[in-house]
Amino acid sequence: MFRPTALRPIATMAKAAATRPLARRSIQPAAVVSSARGFHGTARAPIKVGDALPDTDALMEHTPGTRVNLAETAQTVNRMLVIGVPAAFSPGCSTRHVPGYINHPGREGFEEVVVVGVNDVFVMKAWGETLDPAGDVGIRFLADPTGQFTKMLDMAFDGSAIFGGDRSKRYTIVVEQGKVKSVAVEPDNTGLDVSLAEKVLGPA
């Protein structure tokens, strides 16, 4: 026959709970997660003279399926010029920065000249066709849509106030025999001074 268990007085249960040692919980610090695909991961050291370019295929040319690894490209040419821009079709990029290199005779001393922007690949393609309609200048316009390449250079900045999101600083990098020879980056991120063709390549 079933006999219900006698209930313990509440006062007795409270006393037992008060004297029972609390189980210890081990609290571990939250792990810091970083990602090479976004702008908000762990900070990287700025690219400097003697470094190789970031080894990543994050850059796109003409279509999302055409990936470009500039570290590999730099190993196949003697001299390369990498031009970073804050925004395709923006006034400073379209009228002075990139055209300055298109029209500078010193550009011909580089086997590879590329323009990199944190824009989608279709925008960069259209911009390149606007600046070089005939396609005979030979400058390549590469998209860095996730900002991965730009972040690996430590060239990303918060451009939300103007561009609505993170963008690339304005810079120009000279690469010789696979290694960085010089880096010219605008101190205010978007200005038109040290990264211009006449400053990097000399007077036209």
**What would the two tokens of residue 143 be?**
């998209």
Buried/exposed 166-194: b ≥16 CB within 10 Å, e otherwise: bbbbbbbbbbeebebeebbbbeebbebee
Written as six digits, the tokens of 89 are: 């079709």
For residues 99 and 127, the answer to whether their CB atoms sit within 8 Å is no
Picking from 139, 4, 12, the residue whose alpha carbon sits closest to that of residue 85 is 139
Strands 156-158 and 59-61 turn out to be: unpaired
State yes or no: is 93 an active-site residue: yes
CA angle 132, 134, 138 (to 5 degrees): 60
User: Distance of CA 54 to CAs 44, 45, 66, 74, 90, Å?
Assistant: 11, 12, 18, 11, 26
Annotated active-site residue in 70, 81, 88, 93: 93
Is 26 within 8 Å of 83 (Cβ atoms)? no
Q: Which residues are catalytic?
A: 93
